Amino acid sequence: MEFYLSDPNLRLVFFGILIMSSTTAVVGNYAFLRKRSLIGDAISHSIFPGICLGFLFTDSKNPVFLLVGAFATGWLAVFLIDYFKNNSKIKEDSAIALVMSVFFGIGIVLLTYIQQSKGANQSGLDKFLFGQAASIVETDVIVFGSVALLSLVVVLLLFREFKLICFDPVFAKSIGYPIKTLEAIITSLTVLAIVVGIRSVGVVLMSAMLIAPAAAARFWTNNLSVMMVVSILFTTISTILGCGVSYAFEGMPTGPWIVMIMSFLAILTFLFAPQKGSVNKYFRDRMNWSRIEKENILKKLYQIGEVKNDFFQPIFLPEVANNRHTEIKISQILKKLKNDGFVIKTKGNWYLSAEGKAKGQKMIKLHRLWEFYLTEKVHIAPDHVHDNSEMMEHIISPEMEEKLEKALNYPKKDPHSKEIPY
Amino acid sequence: MNHFWIIIISILAGLPCAWLGSFLVLRKMAMIGDAISHSILPGIVIAYLMSGQKDSFLLFLGASLFGILSTFLIEYLHSKSGLQADASIGITFTFLFSLGVILICYFSSQIDLDQDCVLYGELAYSPLSRWIIDIYDFGPKAFWVLFLVVICTFSYIYFFYQPLKLVSFDEEFAKVSGINVMLWHYSLMGMVSFITVSTFEEVGSILVISNLAVPALTAFLISKNFKRMLFLASFFLILSCILGYGLAYFLNVAVAASISLLGGLIFGIVFITEKMISNQKKYLALGL
């Protein structure tokens, strides 16, 4: 990292982008949690006509005018999206697509108008479209810094209020929070962060800077403050690597590389995050299924034993098989059960072991206990309780089992007059 | 004559977008069109590198592949990782778009894909490249290509109207009726990628996104019948193309952008009129 920080220009670019993208990451948390991730895309497209209007009216490239214009149309876009959403049958995503494409079209009309009427003076306006990280100068860093500071102060002051708006706007309203004002403040922060950053990364990549860190951070924590810190961490890593790549290889663009690394890290997170990642979810699901399958077979074996009044006869596969499990499938599951010690195989015959019998008995007990509970306490008809119990028997924890037993006072028989084995 | 050709070409490029856009609007997937039109960029670059020319079949293939890939990724992140639908769209297309930009920069010496042309299209120059056999001039090449695209899209919708409509209106019911919902989902996404790539060179990606959303939404406001919505969407599209070209001609600005501006204007007028009429009806019903 030191090797490119020694260059003063690159140092400016690096810190500029780092400050700017950390700000967008923080406000992006709110956009993400309010399920408005694409609003960033809409804003970054919609500020373009504002920039052109600012230039047309004042005839100067003074960044203040351009930014004021950009802020105005960015805000207008969010307002229109909300208006269409609330006042017609148009859904939010359609409203975003509509406002975004029309505003952007207006922006291009204005840009081409400026280009042919004002000539060479306009050069630089189209930098807003694709962004140029390398053009960051000291004033930019000062602007980034002040916006970052402002956002930080506002977020710290209104942390509780913003949090409530993200997670439960209805509750926030009912306890008397000024919802409209607070939402307007969040929108203003978002528009501001995008407006100042857009010249460095461009229209399309801006929306990635807004949501990718927040979305990735969401997979690592359930706590908003931690999530914000993690999202800033993600941005920092991507900025360091992105700037590094564009420094190390001639002609490599900084912005796209940062976004590329950022989204790559985000996608890796979505796949491999310890709790919520899809790969982990997949394996967890499979383990769960296989546990449920094993428990079901043990239950079936116990039931067969119950009828025959002898639990330790050799297992006759066709008896266990049903239309969901063929005999081949059953013998596969039996092999797994053997590893767990629930069944034994001797001389080509399968036998239930003592542990297997106990486990099967426990499943049957839970099943019938739950059926009893549903009829007795929840007053559900006896012929409607089986399916629910089929699920619950795999979920009931030992503590809950104990509570059930006590609450029901150790019933002898289930609603279908079958014995509940203890 | 050039005015005529430009308007015709812009209409031909817009019609398939307006039709498929109607389905996207109903399926609450308007932003998918935006995502696809950005995600095809790496496909175009790779195909361009392999074939070395701008109008090859490989370009269609590469772009369509990346378009479908992006919808797969969006669907996967949404359903398997439990990421919010909007966030999964946002992350997927920015990822692929930045990949495309990086590829363009890396191979900049071998590619002359102008970012401007991707954005605004070359509508004003499209009549210039003509299809000539021997001495006979059959008109602009773009016209014939887009004519084919319109025919393809039209037959796709015409022949598969029932399942497409069912899947768009009531996915659950379609599933129960034994329709392969996923198949139709991906076929629609494939078609959107196909028309995006086949039209963006003429009209630019802004107009593709705007054509996918704006006419369909305008029609959506005032129709209670899907066939009517398709007709109205086509009507609004044609209107915006004609008026938009007029505006572009008088102000001397980018044609594609001014068409999308006009589309927005028409939407605004229809929206306000519809609001006024429905308010009036409300008052009448109240006896005021």
Domain boundaries, given as residue ranges, for chain A? 2-276, 277-422
Specify the range with the lowest mean pLDDT, choosing from A138-152, A218-232, B123-137, B178-192: B123-137
How far is the C-alpha of A377 from the C-alpha of A201, rounded, in Å?
62
> Binning pLDDT at 50, 70 and 90, where does residue B118 land?
low
Considering Cα of B36, then B38, then B39, then B42, what sign does the dihedral take? Answer: positive
More confident residue, B155 or A297: B155
Q: What is the pLDDT of residue A336?
A: 85
B132 membership: H or E segment, kind and range: strand B130-133
Query: What is the DSSP-derived secondary structure letter of residue A419?
Result: B
Check CB contact of B214 with chain A, cutoff 8 Å. Answer: yes
How far is the C-alpha of B72 from the C-alpha of B68, rounded, in Å?
6
Q: A2-276 falls under which CATH superfamily?
A: ABC transporter involved in vitamin B12 uptake, BtuC (1.10.3470.10)
What mean pLDDT value characterizes chain B? 85
B224 token code pair: 């209670």
Q: What is the pLDDT of residue A391?
A: 87
How far is the C-alpha of A161 from the C-alpha of A83, rounded, in Å?
23
Q: What is the pLDDT of residue B4?
A: 86
Mean pLDDT of the B252-258 span: 86
Q: Which residues contact A377 (CB under 8 A, 6 or more apart)?
A: A407, A408
A60 token code pair: 């100067």
In this structure, the number of other CB atoms found within 10 A of the CB of residue B52 comes to 11
Q: What is the pLDDT of residue B128?
A: 66
> Binning pLDDT at 50, 70 and 90, where does residue B205 land?
confident
ipTM above 0.95, yes or no: no
**SS3 of B114, please?**
coil
Structural domains in chain B plus CATH codes: 2-204 (1.10.3470.10)
The residues with which A343 forms a beta bridge, in sequence order, are A352
B139 membership: H or E segment, kind and range: strand B136-140
Contacts of A105 in chain B (CB under 8 A): 206-207, 210, 256-261, 263-264
Which of B99, B206, B221 is opposite residue A108, by nearest beta carbon?
Answer: B206
Check CB contact of B221 with chain A, cutoff 8 Å. Answer: yes
> Binning pLDDT at 50, 70 and 90, where does residue B174 land?
confident
Q: Which residue has the tokens 């710290």?
A: A156
- Give the tens place of pLDDT for each residue, A148-157: 999 999 999 9
Number of H helices, E strands in chain A: 19, 2
Q: What is the pLDDT of residue B122?
A: 64
Percentage with pLDDT > 90 across chain B = 31
> Binning pLDDT at 50, 70 and 90, where does residue B79 land?
confident
Q: Which residue of B has its CA nearest to A107?
A: B257
More confident residue, B52 or B259: B259
Percentage with pLDDT > 70 across chain A = 95
CB A210 within 8 A of CB A43: no
Mean pLDDT of the A14-26 span: 91
The DSSP string of A248-259 is HSTT--HHHHHH
Answer yes or no: do A263 and B31 touch at CB < 8 A.
no
**B237 pLDDT exceeds 90?**
yes
**B283 pLDDT exceeds 90?**
no
- Give the tens place of pLDDT for each residue, A210-231: 999 999 999 999 999 999 999 9
B44 token code pair: 């175009």
Answer yes or no: do A90 and B221 touch at CB < 8 A.
yes
Considering Cα of A224, then A226, then A230, then A235, what sign does the dihedral take? Answer: positive
CA distance to partner chain B, nearest, from residue A207 (Å):
7
**B117 pLDDT exceeds 60?**
no
**B145 pLDDT exceeds 60?**
yes
Q: What is the pLDDT of residue B288?
A: 64
**B125 pLDDT exceeds 80?**
no
More confident residue, B16 or A348: B16
Q: What is the largest CA-CA distance in chain A?
A: 98
Q: What is the pLDDT of residue A266?
A: 92
A75 token code pair: 């805000």
Contacts of A96 in chain B (CB under 8 A): 30-31
**A370 pLDDT exceeds 60?**
yes
**CB-based burial label for A243 (10 Å; 0-12, 13-18, 19+):** buried
Contacts of A100 in chain B (CB under 8 A): 34, 209
Q: Which residue of B has its CA nearest to A274?
A: B81
A83 token code pair: 């208006």
- Give the tens place of pLDDT for each residue, A274-287: 888 888 888 999 99
Mean pLDDT of the A149-177 span: 91
Q: Which residue of B has its CA nearest to A45?
A: B206
Mean pLDDT of the B241-259 span: 89
- Give the tens place of pLDDT for each residue, A244-260: 888 888 778 888 899 99
CB A54 within 8 A of CB A199: no
Q: What is the pLDDT of residue B120?
A: 61
Q: What is the pLDDT of residue A28?
A: 93
CB A281 within 8 A of CB A289: no
Identify the CATH number of the domain defined by range A277-422: 1.10.10.10
How far is the C-alpha of B245 from the C-alpha of B254, rounded, in Å?
9
Check CB contact of A34 with chain B, cutoff 8 Å. Answer: no
Considering Cα of B251, then B255, then B257, then B261, what sign does the dihedral take? Answer: positive
**A104 pLDDT exceeds 70?**
yes
**SS3 of A410, please?**
coil
Check CB contact of B99 with chain A, cutoff 8 Å. Answer: yes
Which of B213, B221, B253 is opposite residue A101, by nearest beta carbon?
Answer: B213
**A123 pLDDT exceeds 70?**
no
**CB-based burial label for B236 (10 Å; 0-12, 13-18, 19+):** buried
- Picking from A242, A155, A142, A149, the residue whose alpha carbon sits closest to that of residue A201 is A242
Mean pLDDT of the B48-69 span: 80
CB A83 within 8 A of CB A99: no
Q: What is the pLDDT of residue A2?
A: 52
Specify the range with the lowest mean pLDDT, choosing from A372-386, B40-54, B79-93, B118-132: B118-132
Mean pLDDT of the B182-206 span: 83
**A290 pLDDT exceeds 80?**
yes
The secondary structure of chain A in percent helix, strand, coil, rounded to multiples of 5, reads 75, 0, 20
Over its C-alpha atoms, chain B yields an Rg (Å, rounded) of 20
Three-state secondary structure of A68-108:
HHHHHHHHHHHHHHHHHHHHCCCCHHHHHHHHHHHHHHHHH
